Structure 1
Amino acid sequence: MALEDLYHEKQQEVLRYAWNNDFFMLINHGAKRSGKTKVDNDIFLSELQQVKERAKGVGVDNPQYILAGTSIGAVKRNVLNELENDYGLEINLDKFNTFNLFGVDVICFGHEKISHLKKIRGMTSFGAYINEGTMANEEVFDAIKSRCSGEGAKIVVDTNPDHPEHYIKKDYIDNPNIADFHWELEDNTYLSDRYIANIKASTPQGVFFKRNIKGLWVMAEGAIYENFNKDIHYISRHELAQKNIIRYWGGIDWGYAEGHAGVIVVVGEDDEGNYYLIEEHSREKEDIDYWVEVAQRMSKRYKGIYFYADTARTEHIDKMIAEGINVLYADKSGGSVLSGIELIESLYKTDRLFIVEDNVDRFKKEVYMYIWGPDGKPVDKYDNVLDALRYALYTELGDAGVIIYDI
């Protein structure tokens, strides 16, 4: 079977480069769902098949290779599961999160935190595959690079774009000595026209569209929830009463000090797949006993409700559980902040998220004052209700909340 039968044109271009050039680092960056991770996974496999021979040539019988992502879960989801599905491989990690393939010991670990450095300290690697590169701690990224001193070692990086001052962009992609390929969504010619149209229609305008569709490294500017429209997304209690709400759940953001309120929100979903911020409870300088009482009232009002809570205060979560409240850990994994913001923005853009105006207070200020910082991240201010809402929606829905249709 010819290469043209398996890969679209952009994928063929990158694979031919990877197979015919002795690069040290190759970075594939750009739009989501453009097909770049598939190529990087295949380059990773082909590299492993060559490592054993290169290592043998310098007298190394048990060569090591680095495979890193934001977490072990992300490595399994983005790389290992895909390889198993595509090629029927059976990959089982041992207690050290290592597996052997083609005679090479592949060391898997997370790269998001500086504490992950201990996993590779002192090792010599014959190459590395870094998935979700922009999420990597800069010191960890540099350490991975330094460890790749084995004969013929190559580093493959897969990443979506971030802000243009990100170290991956400035120090590596803009370095003329490093190979990089930029990907757009429409490079993936295997996607149907319907799928592409729906992805474009459901992706918020501004930074998310430029990054996720065009694959551009652009700065986020101004208000974060620019697709929120008060004339559309605020509804009254009377309008809510006309909806058939089929389930309820909530979100909790812990806070105490002035300017950083504690918050509990209640979210509902109707039978048409729309979501509602039904209640907001926000107060400063209240201890956990106050929030237990609020959650207990909500539990009585909405039978079977559960809450996704900020894991910054696990002792508060334990207290609520002890008081009979159904509380779960909110998703605060790598990338969850931006992914959660993107989810909520997509719901505003497609008019699937509504706010019961009579039942919110702090939200009315935060939705306009929550802004991007110069580092491309949200400013940690005016975000208490919005964080609680994000915990509730993103932990429950994840990517399922974004309108995505057939491939």
Structure 2
Amino acid sequence: MLNKVYTPKQIDILKACRNTDWFMLINHGAKRSGKTQLDNDIFLQELIRVRKIADDLDIDTPQYILAGYSMGNIQDNILTELSNKYGFEFKFDRFNNFVLFGVKVIQTSHGNISGLGRIRGMTAFGAYINEASLANQEVFDEIKARCSGPGARIIADTNPDHPEHWLLKDYIKSAAAGILNFHFALTDNTFLDERYIKNIKESTPKGMFYDRGIKGLWVSGEGVVYPDFDQNVHVISSDQAKHIVFERMIAGVDWGWEHWGAIVLIGVKGGSYHVIEEHAAQHKHIDNWIVTAKDIIMRYGNIPFYCDPARPEHVASFQEAGINAYLANNRVLSGIEAVATLMTNKQFFIVYSKCPRFREEIYKYIWKKNTGEPLKENDDVLCAIRYGIYSDMTANKIELPGQSQMEQIKRLKGML
């Protein structure tokens, strides 16, 4: 019966967990390979086990930590999945915690140091850490330290990162007793449709993203960041762009001084993104960028400008000038992967003749050696493009006070 619910890889892990007195379980590897689905079920089993331990110790309210990159990620990756699968209706207190199987589950974000405040000083009987490679290391260590209740265990899952990452070096490769780790490739998920696997393999950018996303390997990038860019595929003329009826227009903004600053105009149609023009310069004051933005607005309306969040004072200046400016989604690797996937899928196009700085950068933007990060050189227009495209893709994740979710989405996508 188990093989109708779990893959062979998942069954092996369940058996190992049952036959071992483990302290930490780390499932790592490719996306869609079955890691989180398995860990969600183990999480439920652990809560039941914790309740039994608490009963033996006459503890009324044992506590357990549930951590993710953000509270939204916990909801999307874990709680919604459990609700859909088992029909749970979580009742949250004013601190966003809930009780399940008689165990109080304390939710916290681990993506930045602020997550420490929700767990500092508590005694936990276990933890479930989703997207563990994205965790701030100090928060991860604090979660581990808080798991001091009798029989406490930690579940962690993650997609791979670069080969020098602390999670890989200090935990996954550790020979410490009590740590179980298992590697997943996409093909380990035997419930996936063969057509889906074929399409995912073909549409995943080659190089680092393929090795991580399909093979589940902890590798660094090598060579240029966008190896699939092809002038024969992705370049369009100004005349071609003029004849496209775009669903909406957006702009991406990267601030600069010694580094080039840039504003790019992007047209969106049917899931494809078209970079229509760029405005790039060094040593340009914010007042001059406002003039550039207003010129774009005169021609295309008050479209959304997704701006580099590193200079919030410049974003504020745009807003004070009546420009529809927002802090861009600046998750670097996720944004690069999104743009690279568009290129692979032939959904990225650019008016090459109108983007001279892009022509300078596209073949010079490279990965750092031994890490999963791009070198901060020759990236200014490319960052502006990433800000615009990835923020547009994730606009429904950005919250604006006083607006309904639909209003937020429409406004951020230039539809209001």
TM-score (norm 1): 0.92
Q: CA deviation at 1:315?
A: 2.7
Residue 318 (structure 1) aligned with residue 319 (structure 2): no
**Counterpart Cα distance in 1 of 2:349 and 2:136:** 36
Partner of 2:124: 125
Q: Secondary structure at the match of 2:247?
A: strand
Partner of 1:368: 363
Partner of 2:242: 241
Contact 1:340 1:398 in 2 (8 A): no
Contact 1:67 1:128 in 2 (8 A): yes
Q: Secondary structure at the match of 1:157?
A: strand
Q: Deviations over 1:11-58 (max 9, x none)?
A: 222223223432101110010011110000110111011112212323
Give the one of 285, 288, 293 matched to 1:287. Answer: 285
Q: CA deviation at 1:321?
A: 2.3
Q: CA deviation at 1:116?
A: 2.1
Q: Secondary structure at the match of 1:311?
A: coil
Deviates more, 1:12-21 or 1:385-394: 12-21
Q: Deviations over 1:104-139 (max 9, x none)?
A: 111111112223223222211100100001001112
**Counterpart Cα distance in 1 of 2:395 and 2:95:** 30
Letter in 2 for 1:162: D
Partner of 1:403: none
Partner of 1:206: 207
**Counterpart Cα distance in 2 of 1:318 and 1:93:** 35
Contact 2:26 2:155 in 1 (8 A): yes
Letter in 1 for 2:276: I
Partner of 2:351: 356
Q: Secondary structure at the match of 2:311?
A: helix
Q: CA deviation at 1:285?
A: 1.9
Residue 216 (structure 1) aligned with residue 217 (structure 2): yes
Q: CA deviation at 1:399?
A: 11
Contact 2:253 2:307 in 1 (8 A): yes
**Counterpart Cα distance in 2 of 1:14 and 1:200:** 26
Q: Deviations over 1:222-247 (max 9, x none)?
A: 21111112333222213323434332
**Counterpart Cα distance in 2 of 1:398 and 1:200:** 23
Partner of 1:404: none
TM-score (norm 2): 0.90
Give the one of 384, 391, 395 matched to 2:387. Answer: 391
**Counterpart Cα distance in 2 of 1:164 and 1:56:** 43
Letter in 2 for 1:391: Y
Letter in 1 for 2:391: T
Unmatched segments (≥5 aa) in structure 1: 401-407
**Counterpart Cα distance in 2 of 1:398 and 1:30:** 24
Q: CA deviation at 1:304?
A: 4.7
Q: Kindly tell me: are residues 247 and 168 of structure 1, through their superposed partners in 2, closer, same or farther at Cα, counting changes over 3 Å?
A: same
Q: Secondary structure at the match of 1:47?
A: helix
Partner of 1:136: 135
Contact 1:264 1:280 in 2 (8 A): yes
Q: How many residues align?
A: 393
**Counterpart Cα distance in 2 of 1:207 and 1:198:** 18
**Counterpart Cα distance in 2 of 1:358 and 1:266:** 14
Letter in 2 for 1:135: L
Partner of 1:337: 332
Residue 266 (structure 1) aligned with residue 262 (structure 2): no
Contact 1:36 1:183 in 2 (8 A): yes
Partner of 2:186: 185
**Counterpart Cα distance in 1 of 2:92 and 2:362:** 44
Letter in 2 for 1:350: N
Identical aligned pairs, as a percentage?
50
Residue 346 (structure 1) aligned with residue 341 (structure 2): yes
**Counterpart Cα distance in 1 of 2:214 and 2:271:** 25
Contact 1:18 1:43 in 2 (8 A): no
